């Protein structure tokens, strides 16, 4: 049953939804307590990171259906902890101040980079290590999973910086309250059509390879990657479509203490 591509796609969808909700719930809990609680939250997630690293290494020589699922989940575990460390304010950037209005574009970019610099360096380092250790392995599903997440997230961040119609800060923790001041609400930007075209092309490539997959393991791998890429494409479209996507996770979280503006953070969706 697990070799069915539709089951694999549903697994990707569920893991994306549940893991995002779990991270947001943990971040919301720690944000309501103290800086120490945020640190504890990030440290408590280290076993997940350890399992992800171990699973990524072990599954490289296991091209079976189980190995493909294991590699996929391991990559998501590594990605999820990095996002948890970012949202709890443990690995962000040196700039913790809001961006003043009407600053030049180059200064706004430098300030925006400063808010997430350490996080970006960690992501690039993790990507480099995974490529170094996983390139040429029998099972590269985990590596490609991280690659899809990495480039989709970079694209989302750049679109938020350049300007999109809908930004949502409902799930943004207090430690990152300065982050939205570096975003821009705009009708559209030049990068958005490029982003959705590239993601659509990538999804099409995965689907084409899924159609011609030589066996069950390859079928599962391409189904997982296609589903993940399509979810990334959906997240991009949710930056411009007036849909209440925050309801997917709001019910999992404690009731808000105060009403917040309807803006969208870069990490409101996905791992």
pLDDT for res 85:
97
Is 246 a residue whose pLDDT tops 90? Answer: no
User: Is the model more confident about 207 or about 265?
Assistant: 207
pLDDT for res 62:
96
Q: Are 242 and 166 in contact (CB under 8 A)?
A: yes
pLDDT for res 266:
45
**Can you list the alpha helix ranges (DSSP code H) found in the chain?**
5-31, 35-44, 46-59, 65-87, 105-134, 141-162, 191-211, 216-237, 247-250
CA–CA gap between residue 91 and residue 155 (Å, rounded): 20
Is 127 a residue whose pLDDT tops 70? Answer: yes
Q: How many residues appear in the chain?
A: 271
- How much of the chain exceeds pLDDT 70, in percent? 92
CA 16 to chain centre: 9
pLDDT for res 251:
65
Is 264 a residue whose pLDDT tops 60? Answer: no
Is 74 a residue whose pLDDT tops 70? Answer: yes
pLDDT band at 18 (very low <50, low <70, confident <90, very high): very high
- Signed CA dihedral, 265, 266, 270, 271: sign only: negative
Segment 4-20 mean pLDDT: 94
pLDDT band at 257 (very low <50, low <70, confident <90, very high): low
Segment 246-255 mean pLDDT: 70
């Amino acid at each position: 049953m697990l070799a069915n591509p539709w089951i694999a796609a549903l697994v990707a969808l569920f893991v994306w939804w549940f893991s995002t909700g779990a991270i947001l719930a943990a971040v919301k809990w720690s944000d309501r307590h103290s800086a120490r609680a945020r640190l504890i939250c990030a440290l408590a997630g280290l076993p997940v990171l350890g399992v992800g690293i171990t699973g990524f290494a072990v599954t490289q020589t296991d091209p079976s259906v189980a190995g493909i699922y294991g590699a996929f989940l391991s990559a998501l575990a590594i990605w999820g902890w990095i996002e948890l460390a970012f949202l709890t304010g443990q690995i962000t950037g040196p700039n913790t101040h809001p961006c003043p209005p009407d600053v030049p574009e180059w200064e706004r970019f430098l300030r925006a980079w400063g808010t997430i610099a350490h996080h970006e360096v960690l992501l690039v380092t993790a990507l480099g290590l995974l490529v170094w250790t996983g390139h040429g392995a029998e099972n590269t599903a985990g590596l490609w999973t991280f690659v899809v997440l990495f480039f989709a997230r970079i694209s989302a961040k750049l679109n938020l910086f350049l300007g999109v119609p809908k930004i949502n800060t409902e799930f943004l923790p207090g430690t990152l309250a300065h982050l939205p001041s570096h975003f821009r609400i705009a009708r559209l930007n030049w990068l958005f059509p490029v982003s959705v075209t590239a993601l659509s092309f990538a999804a099409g490539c995965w689907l084409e390879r899924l159609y011609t997959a030589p066996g069950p393991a390859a079928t599962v791998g391409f189904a997982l990657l296609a589903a993940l890429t399509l979810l990334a494409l959906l997240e991009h479209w949710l930056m411009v479509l007036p849909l209440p996507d925050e309801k997917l996770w709001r019910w999992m979280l404690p009731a808000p203490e105060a009403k917040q503006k309807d803006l969208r953070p870069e990490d409101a969706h996905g791992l």
